[in-house]
């Protein structure tokens, strides 16, 4: 059983489009981490959201933590081919990290 459910599982879009991916759970987390894994590489941390309702921006990426700290979303504006990769979420503040299955994003030029 996955602690975190991510959706959609796959996303294939054209350059310039906007998209949102989701990370949901029935559990409350003290924080939540977003990682991106590029093809052939290991995951790399993008951001950690900590406060319920928090919004963090990383250039064209906007991360939001739900008010109840059970869910999070990642919005990408004007996607570029360099955004291609697997986006994973994981609970922070937990000694036993359990990653979601991830959203596999392909951005076509």
User: Residue from 73, 100, 103, 105 that binds another protein (CB under 8 A)?
Assistant: 100
User: Residue from 72, 83, 102, 103 that binds another protein (CB under 8 A)?
Assistant: 102
- According to CB under 8 A, which residues from 28 to 87 bind another protein? 31, 33, 40-45, 48
What Å distances lie between residue 27 and 5, 15, 31, 36, 88, CA to CA?
11, 35, 11, 22, 17
Q: Which is nearer to another protein, 8 or 109 (CB)?
A: 8
Q: Check residue 1 for interaction with another protein (CB under 8 A).
A: no
Residues at the site binding another protein, with contacts judged by CB under 8 A: 2, 31, 33, 40-45, 48, 88, 92-102
């Amino acid at each position: 059983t996955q602690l975190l459910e991510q959706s959609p599982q796959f996303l294939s879009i054209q350059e310039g489009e906007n998209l949102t991916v989701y990370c949901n759970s029935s559990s409350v987390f003290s924080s939540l981490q977003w990682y991106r894994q590029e093809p052939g590489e290991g995951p790399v941390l993008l951001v950690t959201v900590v406060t319920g309702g928090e919004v963090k921006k990383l250039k064209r990426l906007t991360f939001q933590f739900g008010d109840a700290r059970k869910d999070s979303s990642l919005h990408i504006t004007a996607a570029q081919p360099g955004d291609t990769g697997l986006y994973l979420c994981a609970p922070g503040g937990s000694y036993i990290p359990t990653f979601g299955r991830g959203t596999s994003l392909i951005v076509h030029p």
